[in-house]
Structure 1
Amino acid sequence: MGTEYWNGAEAAHRRVMMKAAGYSDEDIRRKPHIGVPNSFMEGSPGTAHLRRICDAVKEGIWAAGGVPVEFGIPATCGNVANGSDEMKYEQVGRDIVAMSVEFVSRVHHFDGLAMIASCDLIIAGCYMAAMRLDIPSMVVTGGSMTAGQHCGKTVVEADLDAARFTGADEKELFELEESVCPSYGACPSMGTANTMQMLGEVMNLVLLGTATTPASDNAKIRLARSAGKYIVEMVRTNRKPSELITKEVLLNAIMFDMAVAGSTNAVLHLLAYAYELGIKLTYEDFDKYAEEIKCINAVIPSGPYTVVDFHYAGGVMNVMKQLEGKLFTDAPSIYGTTWGEMLSKIEAKENKVIHSLENPVSTLPGLKIMRGNI
């Protein structure tokens, strides 16, 4: 831990700023300082609930003997920008988020990070920041929203777009607007937000079994408090991203993305993460696993189910268990064990949402690299 930065006569000007902000001398001098970047923003269901989740994370940090220091990071909603010129900010926004976390964390010499994020470029930027800073880090996800109900049918945000593009009148669109997003959380299909939340578990940046816990499930608060406790443990054992995210871990992430038919943005993000870590990863790695692994996830748009259904069908860990024979099981897990050891405790549960490799949802891969001149 970097307690020396806060001790000695030369650190008096640092300590007085922390004291003026309400921290005690013992907290400042003796305890690990944990940065808590929070992407709370009131203008989106994916971020408007993160204040309570962040409070729970900080409670866990205090309980484990750490000192939480919350700060805000940029947050936008991709659906607000969709169809407008402002969509051009989506990918660069990831790097802005990463730089925001990096800037504050380096100035304040945090010993570890517990980041709060749910959506698209924001959660992708948090992962990138963890890799750049290479201090013990985790992300606590905001989870997925529940599906809506309209005229006896289950509906999600994508159904509003479908109705809009097929000529629905204003009355029908209004009724759908009132129905399709009934709770906080990321839109419950396999878009970028949920893809990146899930990949956080595979990349050892999110506590296993927690990424897809729905925003509406009170377990999300309990798990956030547990995550706050665990980041203090990670700091004390100095468990860093460079040790937890190996090439084998990234290859496991590619296999997982193929199996769940994740967002195409995951390709861009995984290649960027490899670059940050000094790992060689190419499009050929994606091609290789596209040939081997077909889609086994029946979540919209690959099937009729939502990410909430996916969570209660076993979530990320059930998919990883279905892939066990393909994975690099000697790769490290967030708990300091191997993925093989973690998966030995999991029972495979093939069901209507998560299929087995022998009985895929589709004989096509979940993702394919396209080449040529369009």
Structure 2
Amino acid sequence: MKTRSQDILHGPEWANVRALYKAGGYTDKELKRPVIGIVSSFNTICPGHVIFRQMTQRVREGIQAAGGMPVEFGTIGACDGIAMGHKGMRYILPTREMIANDIEAMAQAHRLDGLVLLGACDKIVPGMLMAAVRLNLPAVLVNGGPSLPGRMKENNPYGGEYIDHSIIQQSEGALKAGLIDEEQFAWIEDHAVPTIGSCAMLGTANTMGCLAEAMGLMLPGTATIPAVYSQRLAAAYQSGTAVMELVKQNLCPRDIITKQALSNAVRVNSAIGGSTNAVLHLLAVAYEAGVDFSVFEIGEICKDIPHMTPMIPAGKYTLLDFYEAGGIPAMMKELEPFLAMEQKTCTGKTLRDNLLHAKKYNGEVIRSLEDPVHRRAGIGILKGNLAPEGAVTKPSAIPDEALYFSGPAKIYEGEEEALAGIRAGQVQAGQVLVIRNEGPKGGPGMPEMYKAMKLLVGMDLGGKVCVVTDGRFSGSNNGCFVGHICPEAAEDGPIAYLQDGDIITVDVQSGLIEAPEVNFEKRRADSPYQYRRQVNGYLYQYAKNVKNASHGAVIPVCEETETTALIPFR
């Protein structure tokens, strides 16, 4: 089998390359095998990534057993939870592009033949998916798995017996409102996150792991295995053997991640009630794959798929419950009438073949199409004079009484100002809290308005105040919220011209977001928007080049024309 690594490993003219590998302990026999990169985001900052030191060893063993030569390298993996609510959050979404670029550079510089990608947490998995389809080398992704949840049976705000990291910020609001005391607050801090792994609820980290599996680039049933379970190491080994089979078949990511596979992922995300951030990431993966896919198509696809799994923050269950109920294979089996079943996957088989033996073990955790948690979709795309290029919301996490919300605007120029206003009691029930200049360009970096929403929920205002922003939200947020307003304020979008007291109407079920009485063109002509943050370093380059949220917040990687289709590297 001729592989591209042999272009620089065969013949006397490439003795210098072989010598460098031999300096690292590789043998002549190994240098005749396909060279497979093991990409890991291991670090000891983010608890979702600690497991990768063990997992990379198991992947290495799987590759070797299947006849490959494994080589390892690392990439960054920042923790959203640690970066939340301060200037560091502006760097989190931009790391997605950094990760994709890192992997591209290493794979191309060393003519690797395939990749096993080990990532966890919010931007790492999508960054790796983007790299996989950009390079189009045989690849398998394996995530680090969710943490086990904490247990709190009494006064559990989610209604079950489990809690996770997201309860902590919500509890700050409850502490401020006098609903819990300092001792209870300290207990929650100490018991909410009992193990390593990505956060135990259905945040962006676990959402993207689930969607990578749904798209076929992760082995079936592996996305939801808890980080501390031995099966997680077995999945790493199996991923190492699987990539070698893909190399033999020359089955590449663009054969797997097609428009139909992306549509499958959108449907799964709606059914599980996944993160709003998935919209950004699926659009970015589509862009890198050369697939024409729009935010409004996502909205249309979602409409047919009800919310079927009540996981935190939209229910009482966790990823542990979902895993034990059958995970993504069981959910996809329920959705079979809506899915493109002939899609190829990283097993070398079709989705239909992969799901032949899928079983559901708990009908309360994974509901049926006939008996969903909510008839409404898990994700909604809105449009109107406030967001002519679209906005994103999460109907599954919005209280019934707040699905239609109309009220006067309370404007804040950024997250810090909004948090100070909420903590000072400036935000009242019935208002629409507008946080602007937090988009990809204006933030820059499109930080999450996680803390603002959590504080409001903890103060019992989650369904009584609607938060509207050109920033984004965490997958763990619940309450009434709309993010990804496009165009953003920094693009001179309508949100820049809202004023305190303007009536804003959000009609989730009709897909509408409007300020019906505002003439935005007149305001723009009368007083052009001036607000802009001064930034330097990487964020300067990011703000200068990034597209808006309805285009996936991507940084273009080729010259754009109407007929542009990215050409994969080979």
TM-score category of the 2 structures, normalised to the smaller one: over 0.9
Offset of residue 171 of structure 1: 3.2
1:295-306 to structure 2, matched below 5 A, reads: 295-306=307-318
More strand by share: 2
Letter in 1 for 2:122: D
Aligned partners of 2:266 and 2:302 also within 8 Å: no
Letter in 2 for 1:161: Q
Equivalent residue number for residue 321 of structure 1 = 333
1:276-295 to structure 2, matched below 5 A, reads: 276-295=288-307
Equivalent residue number for residue 85 of structure 2 = 83
- Give, in whole Å, the separation in 2 of the partners of 1:302 and 1:154: 13
- Give, in whole Å, the separation in 1 of the partners of 2:266 and 2:358: 21
Q: Secondary structure at the match of 1:193?
A: helix
Letter in 1 for 2:91: Y
Aligned partners of 2:162 and 2:317 also within 8 Å: no
Aligned partners of 1:131 and 1:277 also within 8 Å: yes
Equivalent residue number for residue 30 of structure 2 = 27
- Give, in whole Å, the separation in 2 of the partners of 1:332 and 1:306: 29
Offset of residue 260 of structure 1: 0.8
Offset of residue 349 of structure 1: 5.0
- Give, in whole Å, the separation in 2 of the partners of 1:140 and 1:308: 17
Identify the match of residue 204 of structure 2 among 180, 187, 192: 192
Equivalent residue number for residue 144 of structure 1 = 146
Equivalent residue number for residue 70 of structure 1 = 72
User: Is the counterpart of residue 255 in structure 1 residue 267 in structure 2?
Assistant: yes
Offset of residue 151 of structure 1: 6.6
Equivalent residue number for residue 116 of structure 1 = 118
1:231-246 to structure 2, matched below 5 A, reads: 231-246=243-258
- Give, in whole Å, the separation in 2 of the partners of 1:120 and 1:241: 21
Q: CA RMSD in A?
A: 1.5
- Give, in whole Å, the separation in 1 of the partners of 2:101 and 2:324: 35
Aligned partners of 2:367 and 2:373 also within 8 Å: yes
Aligned partners of 2:202 and 2:312 also within 8 Å: yes
| CA 1:348–1:183: 2 relative to 1, 3 Å | closer
Identify the match of residue 51 of structure 1 among 50, 53, 65: 53
Higher relative contact order, structure no. (Cα contacts within 8 Å, ≥ 6 residues apart): 1
Equivalent residue number for residue 100 of structure 1 = 102
Offset of residue 274 of structure 1: 1.2
Aligned partners of 1:147 and 1:155 also within 8 Å: yes
Letter in 2 for 1:166: A
TM-score if structure 2 supplies the norm length?
0.64
Could you list the runs of 5+ residues in structure 1 that have no partner in the other structure?
none
Question: What is the CA deviation profile of residues 64-106 of structure 1, one whole-angstrom value per residue up to 9, with x for unaligned ones?
Answer: 1111111110011000011111111121110001101111111
Letter in 1 for 2:171: A
| CA 1:81–1:315: 2 relative to 1, 3 Å | same
| CA 1:203–1:14: 2 relative to 1, 3 Å | same
- Give, in whole Å, the separation in 1 of the partners of 2:294 and 2:360: 31
Deviates more, 1:123-132 or 1:156-165: 156-165
Identify the match of residue 165 of structure 2 among 157, 163, 168: 157
Q: Secondary structure at the match of 2:329?
A: helix
- Give, in whole Å, the separation in 2 of the partners of 1:45 and 1:169: 28
- Give, in whole Å, the separation in 1 of the partners of 2:94 and 2:118: 19
Identity %: 37
Offset of residue 262 of structure 1: 0.8
Could you list the runs of 5+ residues in structure 2 that have no partner in the other structure?
155-160, 387-494, 496-570
Identify the match of residue 225 of structure 1 among 230, 234, 237: 237
- Give, in whole Å, the separation in 1 of the partners of 2:368 and 2:300: 19
Aligned partners of 1:324 and 1:343 also within 8 Å: no
Offset of residue 150 of structure 1: 4.2
Aligned partners of 2:49 and 2:144 also within 8 Å: yes
| CA 1:107–1:312: 2 relative to 1, 3 Å | same
Offset of residue 130 of structure 1: 0.3
Offset of residue 338 of structure 1: 2.2
Letter in 2 for 1:144: P
Offset of residue 335 of structure 1: 2.3
Letter in 2 for 1:322: E
